[in-house]
Amino acid sequence: MSSNYQLLEKAERLELLAQLIYEALADRFGGATRETFKRLASEESQHASRIRLLAARYGQDRSLVASLAVDTPLIDRLLVEAAEALAAVKSGSWDGDPQAALAGAAALENRFCQAHAQSLSKDAHPELRAFFEQLAAQDKAHAALLKG
């Protein structure tokens, strides 16, 4: 079990890994595919910054972020999966077919969305829950963009 504050730390790491994945993909493709990956890298960076700001804002108010214990096995698995995907991209495993790379990234986004939606307890502070619901909606939008 993790506190909501620890969940925020893990969620930030996941967003940063997604940013790195998209940056690496942008480096490996050209044209519209490159621009899509660059855009998503920027948005993932913004997500990580928003999470970091939220954690800082509530860092002093333990009733908002640390009072509830949450299960994080899904986000823990996704952190491993994202790190493995980044290594695969860097090794060239995603090279060659832009459509396959876009589809693979869309599948990752769908799983990231699940992490945001499922990792946060229903008993969490409403503002914190709403924040993660917004992130999940943005991940859905990313997946839709990747699917074209």
Using an 8 Å Cβ cutoff, are 51 and 8 in contact? yes
- Comparing CA positions, the residue from 99, 85, 122 lying closest to residue 29 is 99
Write the CB contacts of 128 (distance below 8 Å, at least 6 apart in sequence): 4, 54, 58, 64, 65, 120
pLDDT, tens digit (0-9, with 9 covering 90-100), for 120-145: 656 667 777 788 888 888 888 898 88
Domain that includes residue 89, residue range: 2-147
Question: Is the pLDDT assigned to residue 54 strictly greater than 60?
Answer: yes
Band (7; pLDDT cuts 50, 70, 90):
confident
Band (60; pLDDT cuts 50, 70, 90):
low
Q: What is the CATH number of the domain that holds 123?
A: 1.20.1260
Band (2; pLDDT cuts 50, 70, 90):
low
pTM: 0.86
As for how many domains the chain has, the answer is 1
Using an 8 Å Cβ cutoff, are 26 and 16 in contact? no
